[in-house]
Amino acid sequence: MDAISVIRTKRDRGELTPEQIDWVIDAYTRGEVADEQMSALAMAILLNGMNRTEIARWTAAMIASGERMNFRALSRPTTDKHSTGGVGDKITLPLAPLVAACGAAVPQLSGRGLGHTGGTLDKLESIPGWRAHISNEEMLNVLDSTGAVICAAGDGLAPADKKLYALRDVTGTVEAIPLIASSIMSKKIAEGTGALVLDVKVGSGAFMKTIEDARELASTMVALGTDSGVRTVALLTDMSTPLGLTAGNALEVRESVEVLAGGGPQDVVDLTLALAREMLDAAGLKDADPEKALADGSAMDVWRRMISAQGGDPDATLPTAREQHVVTAPASGVLTRLDAYDVGVAAWRLGAGRARKEDPVQAGAGVELHAKPGDTVTEGQPLMTLHTDTPEKFDYALKALPEAYDIAPAGTSFAPLPVVRERIA
C-alpha cells in the first residue's frame, strides 16, 4: 500500500478498508508515512468523517501500535476520567486525589494542551520538581502507594496516538470526532483501567460546539469502551464559560489546591464532585462520600503524597508571570456572557499554550477572571487580568477579547446553564 492511495480514498469520501487502516497507522508509527501525508489524511477525515466500523478499526490499530497495561495486582478497583478539553478545565487535579481518598485507584494518563485548551501535564509541570514522564514500574508504585497517579502515557502505550496527537494540534484537525474518539479510547483501553468516566465538553470553548456533536462523540466513545470490556459512562458538561476563575498553568494549579483545601469556585467544586460520584459508582464504591473526603482534608493528603511521589514539592511557591494587564468593564450592569473560546485564545496567545508542537509554554501565563456570568459589575471594575512573561504578547491577546463578554443593564435576569447537561451510558 501507499499513503497517497489511502489519502485519496478518504478525500473522495470513500470508506477505508481494515487493511488500509492497519497499514497507515503502522507505517506512520514507523516513520514510513510522513507528517505531511498524515496531516492530509487527518484533514480528509475531519472533512468527510468515518463510520463506526472505521473508527473501531482505527482505534484497534492505535492500540495495537504499542503495549497494553493491567492493574490486576492492585488491591483497589481502578477507575479513570478523561476530559475532551476546555478552558480553565483543571478538574483532574482535585478529582484524582479525591477519588483515591474514597478507596479507588486512579491511573490518570493525561496530555498536553491542544489548541486553545489547556493540558493537565502542562499545568502540573509548573510545580517545581514534578515529573510527567515516569516508567510503567514507577507508575504502578505511585498508584499502589498513594492511590492516584497523573502522568504522561509511556512511549510504549499507543505510540501512534502520541505522534498523531501532537500533529493534530498544529494542523487544524483537533476537532475531528473520529480522531478525538480514537485518540482518547486507544490510550484508555490500552491503559487497562476497569472503569472510565468521560467528561465531554460542549459549548464555545469546547471542540464540540453543539449538544448534537457532543452526544455523537460521547456515544461513539461509550460504545468503543463498552465493546472493549471497560465500563464507560459520559457526562456532557458545559464549556460556554470558562471553568473556575483561571485559565493558564500555575494559575489553575493554585485554584485546584484551593478546591482541595475546601474552597475554590463553586462550578469547579460541583463538577469535581459529580465526576467523582460517577467514577466511584463505576468502580463499585457506591457508598463512598467524596464530599466528606473533600471536607475532612483526606483528598488534600493524597494530593500532597501524589505530587511528592513524582518529585514535586507541594509546598513550593508556584511561578508567577512577570507582567500583568487588567481589562476593565466598559459599562455597569450584569455580566451575561463570558465566552470560553475567546478567553482560551487569549490565554494561549499569552504563552499558556503552544503554536507548534515543539514550543514551550509559560508556567505563569494565562487569564485570571474577576467576574462570571450573573455577577453585577460596575464601569471601570476589573473583569480579568492577563498574565505573561512577554508583555509584547498583550496586544495580540487583547484582540481576542472585544467580543468575549456581554454586559446587560442592571436588573437583567440571568439563568446559567447547568454544569452537567446530560449523561450517556
Query: Which residues carry out catalysis?
Result: 82, 161, 168, 183, 187
Instruction: Yes or no: say if 209 and 239 are a contact pair by the CB < 8 Å rule.
Output: no
Measured between alpha carbons, how far is 259 from 200 in angstroms, rounded to an integer? 22
Backbone dihedral angles phi then psi of residue 186, each to the nearest 5 degrees: -65, -40
CA-wise closest residue to 329 among 370, 387, 386: 370
Instruction: Yes or no: say if 95 and 268 are a contact pair by the CB < 8 Å rule.
Output: no
Total residues belonging to the chain: 425
Measured between alpha carbons, how far is 36 from 212 in angstroms, rounded to an integer? 31
Q: Which helix (H) or strand (E) holds 281?
A: helix 266-282
160's CB contacts (< 8 A; 6+ apart) are: 25, 26, 28, 29, 61, 62, 65, 66, 186
